[in-house]
């Protein structure tokens, strides 16, 4: 006995079997003995959410830093955000105004549609070539032709203001983190948390502090879009060659000179990747932030969703897609612009900046012409095309012709898979789940991981979120399974056939640039509201990483190993199952990990189509401006994400070690 | 100003005494506990890496001092300790008699701005700046105004033969041209101490040769005090006044190329010198016979055999070897020269 037990403990599979057996036995035997282990008693719930709400109330009403109160602080932040936003909306949408509210008088008209299109075409050509210029120009022309111009310009003006602030803030924080290891240690967990807390949860306290309106939306957008810039900045500064840093120090740079004259310029190409991310995340958030008062395209989608006006919603949704594609391609082109070539110094400023001059001239000319010809100032109404009725009748046609088929699929899935799985998960005693998570953490990463996984799960329990959390896990789990079942084979196929790979990559890239809101429209159109619709939206949204990581994992296998397999006479099937998949598995696991993260973030958005999970809880908190409720539910989602992330990352690491692969690519 | 003064009589510009660099936790405490003389076994047992162990060198004004070692021998770490790019674990680094390790940050910045220049293996050019901008950069950092720093930059660009390329960006230049920019940039501030960290290692052999000649030409004009790092023994022999050979963090021998070839301190040094053509390293003084008899002509005592071989071989009588003061110190004959050329031990070689 004494010698048998440790031996048994050393065998991994035995531990799993033991833990699972014990928990099943426990669940079956103790139903009546210890009911509190099955259903967490209401009296034991830690009322943290009320405490948070009270704290927020105190913050807004009474908190003071001596010279000024907390409200003064939020007001001054609001003022700081308000005037650039006013300027940007003035330029792009409403025209510059003098005076307040209804007394406001327009001083100048906004930039005309021709001026804006001309400017983006010039940027496209400057950043790459005529092809890109045509694409970007075409995208903006689409917005004008299909009557989405004004909403799109309001959205764009938010982005124009949010992006520079987000980039500057991220850059500064990144620089501080690069310089001070202490600050880096402090900020890393915050960044992790910010990327896993669902977006809605940001909105609640911001709504509380800034009130409903475009400024609150702007604050949320900046906070949401900044963390990747911080990370990219740290990475970019670290990747500057040691010799360049040594050089900077050898010529006697002060710390400030080293940062601004050497490190930042030398890492510019990588920093631009961060800028692209900030732009895309800002777009995503500006759309979502329509819930707390951002106008523009997001508001159009939201309003259409609420009215169930499929046609209008799809129109606005497509406009978001078009805007996203234009912004993404343009900023990527700027990021990958070839480095400068030497110039003839004799040429003047105008000769060296032809595109800037042309664009400025174009703006002035169209602006003046617009004063006399209204058709140049605003796109003529008579030439607008509306597709709303077309989409509405298309949806109607689909529903008339395919209603039965769609409904049958939906019902079969619901009855056969979704509901039983949901029942099973909700039926599990919380104590067993927490225990199993702790065991899994211990096996995969030692006692610290065990403590983390078990502790976070326990926090979800004692804050009274257990049942909603399990519904979240159920929806997320099913969606991830389906996304994996589709994504991994597609990724394998994409890796093995080059042309297919190119097509798949293009599709995936586009899918990833789309704001999450956009996915809701077609799903609601076909399946109406409910868990099934939510699941479909989540699967589509979360598919990309599963495909991408699988394809990457298969492509990076050492060709010698493939040759060894061929030499050993493997069939194609054996090759796949015995060589490629096992070797690509760690990478595939990381892809699934990313899929889970995306699924969780999308799941919260799907609260709009009527789920009952933690996302719905956050959404309700948002509509009621109940900070405590929103933060507790939002953190619970983040905890689920962190548990999944750490367990999978640890598992992937172990696998890499076992396969003798380098630890590159592992999440730190 | 140094002309005519033999290297060993010039003042010491840079010296390091008992410099250690250990990587790992609590390296300071470890070194103190072992009385600044731990042996290799103790270092390994403590889990530390001894990148530089008890280095002592003296670099004299105007000499080319080469630190030679294979990769991992600690030569790059040592030069970074000398320039204080990394902090030594222990020891003294004396620059013009002042201990650099005691200098504060502001003082160090000032010394680097005015008195030191460095050339890097992979050039370390700033990708976003033109050649002119790169070369003027050290002056820009000092706050020199634009027209003055660009005028100075154009001067050094011309010195390294890159005139006409001022507006180019680094990636538009070949490797050799990029390193010329690196050299010009390090000379822009007229440094007194010039560090070159494997400056030619990343270049093709032909270009490397050309750059070595260029380097010698520049040094003929500028007479800088130079600390030059290389892993290439041929390069060291070609360029050095004196060479320090490093292995596993320790300096195992310091000497002129000739001393290393004629009297290698260890088997390891001998291994390097084995394939070096003796005629290019040995001087007439090191192989001469005692004076006597009748001479065909005179050769200088420090002339290399390769330079005088044809002349001596063609004559039927030996040549007189004369010292710096013009006195005859020995004779050299055809057999001795041929013995050196074919790599045989010259019979009458003077004892080292």
> pLDDT, tens digit, for every residue of A463-504?
888 888 888 888 888 999 999 999 999 998 988 888 888 888
- Torsion angle defined by CA atoms of residues B187, B192, B195 and B199, in that order, rounded to the nearest 10 degrees: 30
Per-residue pLDDT at A391 exceeds 80 = no
For a pLDDT cut of 90, what percent of chain A falls above it? 11
What band does A667 get if pLDDT is binned at 50, 70 and 90?
very low
What is the rounded average pLDDT of the residues A110-118?
Answer: 83
The C-alpha atoms of residue A91 and residue B36 are separated, in whole angstroms, by 70
Q: Mean pLDDT: which of A195-209, A645-659, B224-238 is highest?
A: B224-238
Residue spans of the domains in chain A: they are 398-427+463-659
CA distance to B56, B59, B265, B275, per residue, from B254 (Å) = 10, 11, 9, 19
Residues 6+ apart with CB under 8 A from A559: none
- If you count residue pairs, one on A and one on B, with CB atoms under 8 Å apart, how many are there? 73
What is the rounded average pLDDT of the residues A304-322?
Answer: 82
Position B242 scores a pLDDT of: 92
Question: Which B residues in the span 156-215 are in contact with A, Cβ-Cβ below 8 Å?
Answer: 165, 167-169, 171-172, 189, 195
Longest CA pairwise span in chain A (Å): 97
Q: Cβ contacts (< 8 Å) between A261 and chain B: which residues?
A: 137, 140-141
* Structure-block tokens of residue B98: 């002042």
For a pLDDT cut of 70, what percent of chain A falls above it? 93
What band does A1 get if pLDDT is binned at 50, 70 and 90?
very low
What band does A35 get if pLDDT is binned at 50, 70 and 90?
low
Using CB atoms, which residue from A265, A268, A342 is nearest to B169?
A: A342
- Kindly give the pairing relationship between strand B98-99 and strand B319-322: unpaired
B111 burial via Cβ count (<10 Å: 0-12, 13-18, 19+) = buried
What band does A28 get if pLDDT is binned at 50, 70 and 90?
low
Q: Cβ contacts (< 8 Å) between A257 and chain B: which residues?
A: 141
Position A3 scores a pLDDT of: 46
Name the strands in the sheet holding B328-332, side by side, starting at the edge strand that comes first in the sequence: B298-300, B319-322, B328-332
What band does A177 get if pLDDT is binned at 50, 70 and 90?
very high
Inter-chain residue contact A252 with B130, CB threshold 8 Å: no
Using CB atoms, which residue from A241, A252, A339 is nearest to B112?
A: A252
Position A2 scores a pLDDT of: 45
* Domain with residues A398-427+463-659, CATH architecture: Orthogonal Bundle (1.10)
Position B182 scores a pLDDT of: 94
CA distance to A400, A523, A527, A530, A539, per residue, from A408 (Å) = 14, 16, 11, 15, 19
Position A165 scores a pLDDT of: 93
Predicted ipTM of the assembly: 0.87
Position B186 scores a pLDDT of: 92
B195 burial via Cβ count (<10 Å: 0-12, 13-18, 19+) = buried
The C-alpha atoms of residue A292 and residue A284 are separated, in whole angstroms, by 14
Residue B323 has phi, psi (to 5 degrees) of -80, 180
Position with higher pLDDT, A291 vs A96: A291
Mean predicted lDDT score pLDDT of chain A: 82
- Residue of chain B nearest A242, judged by CA positions: B124
Inter-chain residue contact A246 with B138, CB threshold 8 Å: no
Position with higher pLDDT, B146 vs A376: B146
How many CB atoms sit inside 10 A of residue A378's CB? Answer: 16
Inter-chain residue contact B109 with A344, CB threshold 8 Å: no
Inter-chain residue contact A261 with B169, CB threshold 8 Å: no
Position B308 scores a pLDDT of: 85
Which among B104, B111, B112, B127 is the top mutation candidate for probing chain A, defined by the most A β-carbons within 10 Å of its own β-carbon?
B127
Residues 6+ apart with CB under 8 A from A176: A183
The C-alpha atoms of residue A246 and residue B76 are separated, in whole angstroms, by 12
Inter-chain residue contact B169 with A341, CB threshold 8 Å: yes
Inter-chain residue contact B118 with A246, CB threshold 8 Å: yes
Position A668 scores a pLDDT of: 32
Residues 6+ apart with CB under 8 A from B223: B1, B2, B62
Using CB atoms, which residue from A250, A266, A341 is nearest to B127?
A: A266
Helix (H) or strand (E) holding B122: none
CA dihedral sign, ordered B166, B188, B225, B94: negative
What is the rounded average pLDDT of the residues A367-378?
Answer: 74
The C-alpha atoms of residue B171 and residue B158 are separated, in whole angstroms, by 20
What band does A519 get if pLDDT is binned at 50, 70 and 90?
confident
Position with higher pLDDT, B83 vs A312: B83
Predicted TM-score of the model (pTM)? 0.81
Inter-chain residue contact A252 with B117, CB threshold 8 Å: no
Q: Cβ contacts (< 8 Å) between A343 and chain B: which residues?
A: 167
Are A495 and A501 in contact by the 8 Å Cβ rule? The answer is: yes
Position A368 scores a pLDDT of: 77
Inter-chain residue contact A345 with B138, CB threshold 8 Å: no
Please give, rounded to a whole number of angstroms, the shortest distance from the CA of B340 to a CA of chain A: 43
Per-residue pLDDT at A664 exceeds 60 = no
Q: Cβ contacts (< 8 Å) between A253 and chain B: which residues?
A: 109, 141
Per-10-residue mean pLDDT of chain B, 352 residues long, equals 62 90 86 82 84 91 92 90 90 90 90 92 90 93 92 92 89 91 92 92 88 91 92 90 91 90 89 83 85 84 84 85 85 86 62 40
The C-alpha atoms of residue A331 and residue B212 are separated, in whole angstroms, by 45
Map out the domains of chain B with their CATH numbers. Answer: 7-273 (3.40.50.300), 278-342 (3.90.1280.20)
CA dihedral sign, ordered B344, B348, B350, B352: positive
Per-residue pLDDT at A31 exceeds 90 = no
Are B276 and B285 in contact by the 8 Å Cβ rule? The answer is: no
What band does A169 get if pLDDT is binned at 50, 70 and 90?
very high
Q: Cβ contacts (< 8 Å) between B85 and chain A: which residues?
A: 246, 249-250
Q: Cβ contacts (< 8 Å) between B189 and chain A: which residues?
A: 251
């Amino acid at each position: 006995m004494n010698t048998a037990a440790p031996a048994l403990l050393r065998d991994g599979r035995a531990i799993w079997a033991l833990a699972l057996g014990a928990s099943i036995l426990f669940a079956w035997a103790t139903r009546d003995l210890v009911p509190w282990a099955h259903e967490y008693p209401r009296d034991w719930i830690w009322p943290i959410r009320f405490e948070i709400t009270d704290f927020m109330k105190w913050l807004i009403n009474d908190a003071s830093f001596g010279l000024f109160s907390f409200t003064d602080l939020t007001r001054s932040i609001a003022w700081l955000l308000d005037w650039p936003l006013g300027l940007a909306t003035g330029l792009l949408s409403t025209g510059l105004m003098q005076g307040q509210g209804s007394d406001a008088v327009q001083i100048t008209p906004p930039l005309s549609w021709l001026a804006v299109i001309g400017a983006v075409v010039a940027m496209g050509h400057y950043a790459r070539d005529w092809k890109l210029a045509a694409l970007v120009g075409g995208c903006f022309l689409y917005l004008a032709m299909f009557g989405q111009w004004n909403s799109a310009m309001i959205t764009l003006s938010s982005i124009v203001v949010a992006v520079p602030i987000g980039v500057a803030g991220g850059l500064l924080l990144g620089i501080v983190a690069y310089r001070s290891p202490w600050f880096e240690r402090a900020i890393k967990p915050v960044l992790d948390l910010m990327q896993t807390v669902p977006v809605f949860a940001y909105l609640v306290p911001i709504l509380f502090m800034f009130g409903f309106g475009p400024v609150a939306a702007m604050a949320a957008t900046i906070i949401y879009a900044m963390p990747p810039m911080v990370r990219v900045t740290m990475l970019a500064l670290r990747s500057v060659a040691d010799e360049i840093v040594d050089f900077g120090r050898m010529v006697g740079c002060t710390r400030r000179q080293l940062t601004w004259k050497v490190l930042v310029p030398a890492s510019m190409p990588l920093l631009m990747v961060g800028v692209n991310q900030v732009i895309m995340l800002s777009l995503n958030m500006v759309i979502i932030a329509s819930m707390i008062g951002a106008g523009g395209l997001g508001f159009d989608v939201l309003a259409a969703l609420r009215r169930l006006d499929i046609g209008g919603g799809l129109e606005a949704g497509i406009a978001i897609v078009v805007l996203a594609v234009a912004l993404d391609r343009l900023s990527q082109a700027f990021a990958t612009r070839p480095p400068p070539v030497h110039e003839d110094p004799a040429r003047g400023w105008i000769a060296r900046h032809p595109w800037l001059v042309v664009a400025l001239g174009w703006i002035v000319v169209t602006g003046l012409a617009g004063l006399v010809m209204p058709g140049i100032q605003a796109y003529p109404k008579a030439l607008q095309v509306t597709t709303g009725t077309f989409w509405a009748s298309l949806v109607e046609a689909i529903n008339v012709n395919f209603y039965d088929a769609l409904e049958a699929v939906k019902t079969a899935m619901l009855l056969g898979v979704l509901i039983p799985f949901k029942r099973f998960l909700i039926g599990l005693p919380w104590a067993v789940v927490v225990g199993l998570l702790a065991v899994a953490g211990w096996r995969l990463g030692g006692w610290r991981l065990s403590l983390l996984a078990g502790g976070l799960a326990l926090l979800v329990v004692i804050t009274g979120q257990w049942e909603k959390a399990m519904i979240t896990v159920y929806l997320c789990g099913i969606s991830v399974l389906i996304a994996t079942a589709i994504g991994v084979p597609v990724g394998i196929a994409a890796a093995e056939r080059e042309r297919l790979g190119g097509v798949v990559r293009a599709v995936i890239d586009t899918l990833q640039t789309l704001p999450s809101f956009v996915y809701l429209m077609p799903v609601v159109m076909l399946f109406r509201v409910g868990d099934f619709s939510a699941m479909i939206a989540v699967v589509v949204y979360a598919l990309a990483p599963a495909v991408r990581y699988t394809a990457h994992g298969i492509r990076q296998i050492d060709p010698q190993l493939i040759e060894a397999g061929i030499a050993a006479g493997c069939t194609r099937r054996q090759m796949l199952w015995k060589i490629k998949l096992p070797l690509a598995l760690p990478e595939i696991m990381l892809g699934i990990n990313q899929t889970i993260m995306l699924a969780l973030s999308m799941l919260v958005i799907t609260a709009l189509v009527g789920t009952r999970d933690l996302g719905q809880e956050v959404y309700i908190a948002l509509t009621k401006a109940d900070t405590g409720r929103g933060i507790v539910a939002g953190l619970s989602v983040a905890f689920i994400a962190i548990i999944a992330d750490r367990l999978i990352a640890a598992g992937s690491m172990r696998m890499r070690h076992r396969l003798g692969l380098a630890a590159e690519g592992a999440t730190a | 100003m140094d002309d005519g003064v033999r290297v060993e009589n010039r003042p010491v510009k840079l010296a390091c005494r008992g410099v250690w660099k250990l990587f790992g936790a609590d390296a300071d405490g470890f070194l103190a506990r072992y009385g600044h003389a731990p042996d290799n076994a103790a270092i390994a047992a403590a889990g530390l890496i001894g990148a530089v162990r008890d280095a002592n060198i003296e670099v004299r004004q105007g000499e080319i001092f080469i630190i030679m070692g294979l990769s991992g021998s600690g030569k790059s770490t040592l030069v970074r300790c000398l320039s204080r790019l990394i902090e030594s674990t222990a020891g003294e680094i004396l620059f013009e008699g002042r201990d650099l390790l005691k200098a504060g940050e502001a003082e160090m910045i000032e010394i680097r701005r005015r008195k030191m220049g460095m050339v890097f293996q992979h050039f370390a050019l700033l990708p976003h700046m033109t050649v002119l901008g790169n070369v003027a950069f050290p002056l820009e950092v000092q706050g020199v105004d634009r027209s003055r720093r660009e005028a100075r930059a154009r001067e050094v660009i011309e010195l390294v033969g890159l005139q006409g390329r001022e507006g180019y960006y680094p990636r538009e230049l070949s490797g050799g041209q990029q390193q010329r920019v690196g050299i010009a940039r390090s000379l822009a501030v007229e440094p007194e101490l010039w560090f070159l960290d494997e400056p030619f290692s990343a270049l093709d052999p032909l270009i490397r040769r050309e750059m070595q000649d260029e380097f010698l030409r520049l040094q003929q004009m500028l007479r800088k005090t130079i600390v030059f790092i290389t892993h290439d023994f041929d390069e060291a022999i070609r360029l050095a006044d004196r060479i320090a050979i490093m292995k596993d963090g320790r300096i195992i021998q310091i000497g002129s190329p000739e001393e290393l070839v004629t009297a290698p301190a260890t088997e390891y040094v001998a291994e390097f010198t084995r394939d070096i053509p003796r005629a290019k390293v040995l001087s007439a003084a090191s192989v001469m016979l005692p004076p006597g008899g009748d001479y065909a002509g005179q050769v200088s005592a420090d002339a290399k055999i390769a330079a005088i071989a044809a002349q001596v071989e063609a004559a039927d009588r030996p040549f007189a070897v004369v010292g710096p003061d013009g006195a005859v110190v020995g004779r050299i004959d055809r057999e001795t020269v041929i013995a050196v050329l074919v790599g045989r031990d010259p019979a009458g070689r003077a004892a080292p």
